[in-house]
């Protein structure tokens, strides 16, 4: 065997199963970068792809050979041979050998329904495919993991045959047999009952591969570990086909922090949030802020009672320390927050205020007034910091708006509209007026503002508008209803949110855009932490 008998192996399939998720497509370079990040995290096995399925995966296996990995072993994935071909002539098996990985994961059918309907072959033939394919790869010096596809559905339909399939895998020489909940519909108590029976009859170390179609993937995986699973397969952030695979971020945190099972070693668990965000960025997906452990909201507090309690002792409303997974505690600002929450947020910005300080009273009153008008600062901490600094008298605007105009012209019914924005701003004593076109009025306004300011503040070239959301606050006035615009911006270091509210969507967008630029310039002025000072 490869490892100590008590060692729990973590097998990541983000690059293969995760890449099958809707809206996800990895380039070869993307896959190499993710593999390096997974290796840094301490993942033991990284499934690189299916070399018999597409040229991109073949390129990845060629590229990754030149990359030194500290711990992780790269694994090639593929299917058992076709029924009408021998192992020696099967193109899929030959492509797996050509990938030149030491370990290969083969999948085969465990469910009689799939054997007869999907594979279209006899039950006994399927057993031969499993046994022959594994034995062939073993004869070529490969270590083989066997993914028993649809095992739990297969066991519920015909326990004897499902057991015969993994027995065939064992006879072929598989070093791990992975029980797969491929449809993702098995319940935890079913996993426990089936696992109990399987482990009594199978002497090959077992693993678990769960999908999340019934929202049970994490629970099922942890049950399998309780039952003695030696290997856990999953993806970062749970990305994958349909509803996704088991989320390794949740599994890893639960294993180490709840089940006290060390799997990554050292303090690598503190990299978990960073890896989660890295994969989201490469996959071009917005991070799930409500994702357990690593999401922005995982340790965010909004209610005044909660905030007051965590200020005394974080354990009152936090089940683990945020830092243990690389996250942080956040206090959200709203009319539910109360005085204690606002004090903490203001202190985090470097101001030392007592709870009865007059500036704080004014700020609280202003916040409540703005929120009655529709402003919301939970996702707009950039705007909130500007508001605080203005209230404290420590912020001088970097520019002054003298006027703006946005024109949308549609010349023909079958042509897209042309949008142009003109903006006039004042920087110190200099007046600058510029015009720019864009893909819609907000983009044109953004382009014109940057064009006017970049000559004064070249650091604005780093800023990107990452997300733009419009929310109608009340529909009682129809198209004249007030709207709230939330903008997320970012540079090469961080991201920030800003907000604007108006009956006019252009005005609301301007407020959020202007705050975004002001916040960037504020941070550029002082990259060092702001020293605590009296307000």
The predicted structure's pLDDT at residue 528: 42
The predicted structure's pLDDT at residue 150: 98
Q: Phi then psi for 301, rounded to 5 degrees?
A: -125, 130
The verdict on residue 485 lying in a domain is no
The verdict on residue 200 lying in a domain is yes
DSSP state of 16: T
**The domain boundary residue, chosen from 433, 456, 479:** 456
**HSE-up (13 A, CA, CB side) for residue 312:** 7
Cα distances (Å, whole numbers) of residue 305 to 256, 292, 296, 367 = 30, 22, 20, 18
Distance separating alpha carbons of residues 402 and 429, to the nearest angstrom = 12
Distance separating alpha carbons of residues 489 and 485, to the nearest angstrom = 13
Distance separating alpha carbons of residues 200 and 188, to the nearest angstrom = 19
| Residues 327 and 211 placed together within one structural domain of the fold | no
428 CB burial (10 A radius; 0-12, 13-18, 19+): exposed
| Residues 234 and 329 placed together within one structural domain of the fold | no
The verdict on residue 466 lying in a domain is no
The verdict on residue 387 lying in a domain is no
Distance separating alpha carbons of residues 11 and 73, to the nearest angstrom = 9
Q: Residue 518 belongs to what H/E stretch?
A: helix 505-525
| Residues 359 and 420 placed together within one structural domain of the fold | no
The predicted structure's pLDDT at residue 25: 93
Strands 464-472 and 483-490: antiparallel
Distance separating alpha carbons of residues 310 and 337, to the nearest angstrom = 13
**The domain boundary residue, chosen from 438, 456, 474:** 456
| Residues 76 and 216 placed together within one structural domain of the fold | yes
CB proximity list for 338: less than 8 A, separation 6 or greater: 304, 307, 308
The first and second tokens of residue 19, run together, are 């890449």
The verdict on residue 208 lying in a domain is yes
| Residues 39 and 185 placed together within one structural domain of the fold | yes
Distance separating alpha carbons of residues 58 and 513, to the nearest angstrom = 44
Distance separating alpha carbons of residues 131 and 172, to the nearest angstrom = 4
The verdict on residue 62 lying in a domain is yes
| Residues 24 and 149 placed together within one structural domain of the fold | yes
DSSP state of 71: S
The predicted structure's pLDDT at residue 529: 41
The first and second tokens of residue 112, run together, are 């009689």
Q: Residue 106 belongs to what H/E stretch?
A: strand 103-109
The verdict on residue 481 lying in a domain is no
| Residues 228 and 113 placed together within one structural domain of the fold | yes
Question: Which residue segment(s) compose the domain that 321 sits in?
Answer: 300-372
**pLDDT tens over the chain, length 535 residues:** 344 445 899 999 999 999 999 999 999 999 999 999 999 999 999 999 999 888 899 999 999 999 999 999 999 999 999 999 999 999 999 999 999 999 999 999 999 999 999 999 999 999 999 999 999 999 999 999 999 999 999 999 999 999 999 999 999 999 999 999 999 999 999 999 999 999 999 999 999 999 999 999 999 999 999 999 999 999 999 999 999 999 999 999 999 999 999 899 889 999 999 999 899 988 988 789 899 999 989 998 887 788 778 888 999 999 999 999 999 888 776 655 556 667 777 777 777 777 677 777 788 788 878 878 888 787 788 998 999 888 888 888 999 999 999 999 988 888 889 999 999 999 999 999 999 999 999 999 999 999 999 999 999 999 988 888 888 886 555 666 789 999 999 887 788 999 999 999 999 999 999 999 999 999 887 654 434 333 3
**The domain boundary residue, chosen from 416, 440, 456:** 456
The CATH number that applies at residue 415 is 3.30.160
Beta strands in 410-514 (DSSP E): 418-427, 430-438, 464-472, 483-490, 495-502
Quote the radius of gyration of the chain (alpha carbons, Å). Answer: 28
| Residues 130 and 236 placed together within one structural domain of the fold | yes
End-to-end Cα, the chain, rounded Å = 65
| Residues 234 and 317 placed together within one structural domain of the fold | no
Could you give the number of structural domains in the chain? 3
Cα distances (Å, whole numbers) of residue 323 to 396, 409, 489 = 35, 52, 25
| Residues 304 and 239 placed together within one structural domain of the fold | no
492 CB burial (10 A radius; 0-12, 13-18, 19+): exposed
Query: What is the CA angle 135-138-144, rounded to 5?
Result: 95
| Residues 332 and 404 placed together within one structural domain of the fold | no
Q: Phi then psi for 335, rounded to 5 degrees?
A: -70, -5
The CATH number that applies at residue 17 is 3.20.20.70
| Residues 107 and 160 placed together within one structural domain of the fold | yes
Distance separating alpha carbons of residues 378 and 165, to the nearest angstrom = 53
Q: Phi then psi for 515, rounded to 5 degrees?
A: -60, -40
The verdict on residue 476 lying in a domain is no
């Amino acid at each position: 065997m490869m490892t100590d008998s008590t060692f729990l192996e973590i097998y990541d399939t983000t690059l293969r199963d995760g890449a099958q998720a809707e809206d996800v497509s990895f380039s070869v370079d993307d896959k190499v970068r993710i593999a390096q990040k997974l290796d840094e995290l301490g993942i033991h096995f990284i499934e690189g792809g299916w070399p018999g399925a597409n040229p991109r995966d073949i390129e990845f296996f060629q590229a990754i050979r030149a990359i030194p990995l500290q711990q992780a072993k790269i694994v090639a994935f593929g299917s058992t041979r076709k029924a009408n071909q021998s192992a020696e002539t099967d193109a899929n098996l030959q492509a797996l050998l050509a990938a030149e990985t030491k370990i290969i994961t083969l999948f085969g059918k465990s469910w009689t329904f799939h054997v007869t309907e999907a594979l279209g072959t006899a039950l006994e033939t399927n057993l031969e495919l499993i046994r022959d394919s594994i034995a062939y790869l073993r004869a070529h010096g490969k270590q083989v993991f066997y993914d028993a596809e649809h095992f739990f559905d297969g066991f519920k339909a015909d326990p004897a045959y499902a057991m015969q399939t993994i027995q065939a895998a064992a006879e072929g020489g598989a070093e791990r047999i992975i029980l797969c909940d491929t449809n993702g519909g098995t319940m935890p108590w079913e996993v426990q009952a089936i696992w109990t029976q399987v482990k009594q009859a199978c002497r090959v170390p077992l693993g678990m591969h769960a999908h999340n179609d019934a929202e049970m993937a994490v629970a099922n995986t942890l049950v399998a570990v309780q039952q003695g699973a030696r290997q856990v397969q999953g993806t970062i952030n749970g990305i994958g086909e349909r509803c996704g695979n088991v989320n390794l971020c949740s599994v890893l945190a639960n294993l180490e922090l709840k089940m006290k099972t060390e799997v990554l070693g050292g303090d690598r668990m503190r990299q978990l949030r960073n890896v989660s965000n890295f994969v989201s960025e490469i996959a071009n997906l917005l991070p799930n802020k409500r994702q357990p452990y690593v999401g922005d909201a995982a340790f965010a507090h909004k209610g005044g009672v909660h905030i007051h309690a965590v200020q005394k002792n974080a354990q009152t409303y936090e089940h683990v320390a945020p830092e243990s997974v690389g996250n942080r505690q956040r206090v959200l600002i709203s009319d539910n927050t109360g005085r204690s929450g606002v004090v903490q947020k203001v202190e985090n910005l470097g101001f030392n205020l007592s709870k009865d300080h007059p500036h704080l009273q004014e700020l609280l009153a202003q916040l409540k007034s703005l929120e009655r008008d529709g402003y919301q600062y939970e996702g707009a901490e950039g705007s909130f910091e500007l508001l605080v600094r203005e209230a404290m008298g420590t912020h001088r605007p970097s520019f002054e708006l003298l006027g703006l105009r946005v024109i949308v012209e549609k010349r023909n019914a079958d042509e897209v509209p042309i949008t142009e924005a003109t903006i006039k701003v004042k920087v110190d004593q200099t007046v600058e007026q510029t015009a720019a076109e864009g893909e819609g009025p907000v983009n044109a306004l953004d382009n014109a503002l940057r064009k006017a300011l970049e000559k004064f503040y070249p650091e604005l070239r780093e800023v990107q508008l990452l997300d733009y959301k419009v929310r109608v606050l009340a529909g009682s006035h129809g198209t004249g209803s007030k709207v709230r615009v939330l903008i997320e911006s970012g540079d090469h270091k961080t991201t920030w949110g800003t907000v604007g509210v108006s009956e006019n969507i252009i005005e609301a967008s301007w407020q959020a855009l202007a705050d975004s630029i002001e916040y960037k310039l504020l941070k550029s002025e002082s990259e060092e932490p702001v020293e605590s000072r009296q307000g």
